[in-house]
Structure 1
Amino acid sequence: MNTPSVLIVGAGATGLPVGYHLGLAGADVTFLVRPGRKSVLGSAQRLYCYDDAELKTFDTYRVVDDVTELAGTGFQFVVITLDGHTSRTPEGVELLRGLGKLVRACDAHVVICGFGLGVREHHRETLGVDDDRLTHGFLGMLSHQASADLPVHPPTDPARVALANVCYGHPTNRIGFRIETGNATAAQRFAELYERSGVSECAQVSREVDDVFCTAASPVYAAAELAGWPDFTTLVRDEELWDLACRAQAEIMTLPRYGRTGAHMAKAMGPVETARTHQAIERDMLPLDYQAFNRFHHGGKVRAQDVATMYDCLAEGRSCGHPMPALQTLLSRLEAPAAI
């Protein structure tokens, strides 16, 4: 059996844990990184695992910083870890166009990890590939740079965290990655490869549900930011703000593009169930501090992606005759009113 080969674009908080687990699964992993980052990946990477408070060493990979170095190389999968905002910047578009030449010259299936309205369409058009060669996936674990300096809860070992490049933790169901099944064959192949690691699982979700999830979660993080990132029990006690966030979430879910799937999800994920979901994640992810992670990730690292997603949903809703009042109010509080 041939050794599967995977190219991962980006070696940060998403790329490293995905690469580590694919490496455990026996894949040949290559990272494509920004110019100047190659030397950082020249030495072994250390990943702190909240699951067992141990440091994992990852050194079985290749690193390049120019896509032209990969000309003539075949990959089974190309995993693009750019967030939705970064993928639309001039630098992101240039990178995707270069990757498109590589992908079109081989049989690689592309897994994109960015979030946002139209993120799949953007990648498909910029890469120049057919829709059936493109799948959305995202981490099921939580992962962050060790430099994030999150609060330490027992039994986390701060000395080991200080030695790490990236820290990650699985939920109790061990789901480390999720992939949508628009191309069921490719999704199954990726899941089977990933799960050969023996320590992390890959869940498969329908494309319809994944499409809604790609946009609908942002209002909850916006509300958390407005409240100062308290724990979810405290956040939910602010009934007016929580209701506003959940109504904005429902407005996104019920955009016409999401059809019956979105309508069913909006009905199921009201204020009570949304609160239960996030409170359960908060408990499940300990000792990783869920809201401290969200403050670092959604309040900083991918904030531009989340805000752009909400503005895009607001514009689409209005164009379809949906005024989106809750989303508009939430954005007006989060951003300067003149920005709407």
Structure 2
Amino acid sequence: MPKPKVLIVGCGAVGLSQGYHISHSADCTYLVRPGRKPAFEPPKHLYSYKDDTLHEFSSYRVIESVSEVKGEEFAFVFDTLDGYTARSESGTATIRSVGELLKEPQNANSFVVYDAAGLDIEEHYLSTLGIARSRLLFGVSLLAHQPTPQIPIPETANKSLASKADILYSTPSAGMILVVMNTQPSLTKKLEAFYDVKGKQGIQRAPGFLAPYVVPLSMLQLVAWNIDGFGPFKQFRANTELWNLMLRAQTEILNLPRFGWTGWLLSFVVGDWFAVQMHAPFEVNAKPLDYAMFNAFHHGGKVAKQDRRMLEDVLSEGEKGGRKMPALKEIIKKASELS
């Protein structure tokens, strides 16, 4: 019996690592930008920090246009674009083309998983794809990156293996390949079938109601940590002036009208302890990958525009509504001075 097909938008670190982990139960097709197909042809090699092993991934195909798979049926689409790219002209065009594929009758039951961050990014996906909310799910990937001198290979690693990798990855908690904000339980259940390997489940469920709050607060913390230089988390926590500024900005965000009474109540509950729990445990659990250095490479460079834009959009919304948000404004100012 043939495997179900999955379309993955983007063949970078997230796309390859997610595709590798579901390839036992799905045939993966990668959609890449025109002219980029040769760079992503199989095989690719993925190094696992946790297992100190190198895996070959060759059972996939690469396309440059959705027209190449017209008429084919896909169980789901995994869109790996970051929030800034997803809203760009080219990113929007790509998402729209995927929406056209999903409107074909054979894909009536297909759904979309995305991991882009941004204020109202879900609405952008819904309107651009032209699908119902019940077909869209937000997930957060494991930690994956291309080889870079910014993230040194750990002393404990087999450097001969790691040096051959096209992608290196680690999990921020045991066995966690993808965290799903469980806003659509029926879709989560379908997705879990693809991530179940020999009885081990690679999906970690997070309460769906937390999604509107967790994402902007996480972006706030990453931007503030970037301002501090992405050193060890305890160093960031010890920067009392910046840390307290971030906590005040956290309260300002939760008090926005969009978050209603729930946000207002959370602003009294979500404080220092919660802020520490958002990232500090990952620093320990991601080892031997250096979590701070990973964030310096990823959130300090690759997706820095995504993170900052989200905070800028939050500030703009607040100020248009007559809210003064001095702490958030100061953090954005400091972040802007980094580039």
Shared fold per TM-score greater than 0.5: yes
Contact 2:218–2:278 at 8 Å: present in 1 too? Answer: no
Please list every run of at least 4 consecutive aligned residues from structure 1 whose deviation after the TM superposition is greater than 6 angstroms. none
2:114 corresponds to = 112
CA distance in structure 1 between the aligned counterparts of 2:317 and 2:149, rounded to whole angstroms: 35
1:290 corresponds to = 291
TM-score (norm. length: structure 2) = 0.92
Moved more, 122-131 or 189-198: 189-198
1:269 corresponds to = 270
1:78 corresponds to = 77
Please tell me whether residue 3 in structure 1 is matched to residue 3 in structure 2.
Answer: yes
Consecutive unaligned residues of structure 2, counting only runs of 5 or more, are: none
One-letter amino acid of the structure 1 residue matched with residue 275 of structure 2: T
- SS in structure 1 at match of 2:118: coil
Moved more, 188-197 or 48-57: 188-197
* Residue correspondence of structure 1 range 124-139 to structure 2 within 5 A: 124-139=126-141
Shift, 1:193, TM fit: 1.8
One-letter amino acid of the structure 2 residue matched with residue 42 of structure 1: E
Shift, 1:336, TM fit: 5.4
Q: CA offsets, 1:181-203, max 9 Å, x none? A: 22221111102221236555201
One-letter amino acid of the structure 1 residue matched with residue 124 of structure 2: H
2:57 corresponds to = 58
Shift, 1:18, TM fit: 0.7
Q: % of aligned pairs identical?
A: 34
1:248 corresponds to = 249
CA 1:203–1:254 in structure 2 vs 1: closer, same or farther (change >3 Å)? farther
One-letter amino acid of the structure 1 residue matched with residue 184 of structure 2: N
CA 1:271–1:128 in structure 2 vs 1: closer, same or farther (change >3 Å)? same
CA 1:121–1:197 in structure 2 vs 1: closer, same or farther (change >3 Å)? farther
CA distance in structure 2 between the aligned counterparts of 1:334 and 1:134, rounded to whole angstroms: 31
Q: 1:122 aligns with which of 121, 124, 136?
A: 124
What is the count of residue pairs matched by the alignment? 336
CA 1:159–1:252 in structure 2 vs 1: closer, same or farther (change >3 Å)? farther
Contact 1:191–1:203 at 8 Å: present in 2 too? Answer: no
Contact 1:208–1:261 at 8 Å: present in 2 too? Answer: no
CA distance in structure 2 between the aligned counterparts of 1:197 and 1:210, rounded to whole angstroms: 30
One-letter amino acid of the structure 2 residue matched with residue 51 of structure 1: K
Q: CA offsets, 1:90-144, max 9 Å, x none? A: 11111111111101112210111100101110011111112111111121x2111
* Residue correspondence of structure 1 range 1-340 to structure 2 within 5 A: 3-24=3-24, 26-105=25-104, 106-107=107-108, 108-139=110-141, 141-147=142-148, 149-196=150-197, 201-263=202-264, 265-335=266-336
Contact 2:112–2:137 at 8 Å: present in 1 too? Answer: yes
TM-score (norm. length: structure 1) = 0.92
CA distance in structure 1 between the aligned counterparts of 2:200 and 2:21, rounded to whole angstroms: 8
Consecutive unaligned residues of structure 1, counting only runs of 5 or more, are: none
Contact 1:208–1:258 at 8 Å: present in 2 too? Answer: no
Contact 1:21–1:200 at 8 Å: present in 2 too? Answer: no
CA 1:39–1:178 in structure 2 vs 1: closer, same or farther (change >3 Å)? same
CA 1:265–1:52 in structure 2 vs 1: closer, same or farther (change >3 Å)? farther
CA distance in structure 1 between the aligned counterparts of 2:312 and 2:173, rounded to whole angstroms: 34
Q: CA offsets, 1:170-225, max 9 Å, x none? A: 13431110122222211111022212365552012233212222222122222222
